[in-house]
Amino acid sequence: MLARQTPVMIMQPWKQVPPGTNGGITAMGTAWSGVGGLLMGLTQILMDAVSGYAPLNVQATLVFATAC
């Protein structure tokens, strides 16, 4: 709904759709979703450090959280 660019269908990226359509994505929205995942991964690492757990691999945790 807030997109300034025209969204495309996630399963048919050649097809433009109106803002607010289910399955419509933009590059900016996808990038911000990755930033949100990265922040969640950083929060997990911070909480593990505070609680005394050592993460096995910090880089893998951040990449996995960002991808999710």
Contacts 24+ apart (CB under 8 A), 22-28: 28/3, 28/4
For the chain, how many structural domains are there in total? 1
Q: In this structure, are residues 44 and 52 in contact, taking their beta carbons and an 8 Å threshold?
A: no
User: Has this prediction a pTM greater than 0.85?
Assistant: no
pLDDT class of 1 with cuts at 50, 70, 90: low
Domain membership of residue 3 (yes or no) is no
- Judged against a pLDDT cut of 80, whether residue 62 lies above it is answered with yes
**pLDDT tens, 43-54?**
999 998 898 887
Domain membership of residue 2 (yes or no) is no
Determine the structural domain holding residue 45 and report its residue range. 8-67
Domain membership of residue 59 (yes or no) is yes
Domain membership of residue 1 (yes or no) is no
**pLDDT tens, 6-36?**
899 999 989 999 888 899 999 999 999 999 9
The pair of three-digit structure tokens given for residue 68, joined into one six-digit string: 């999710």
**3-state class of 24 per DSSP?**
strand
Residue 14 CA to residue 33 CA, distance in Å, equals: 21
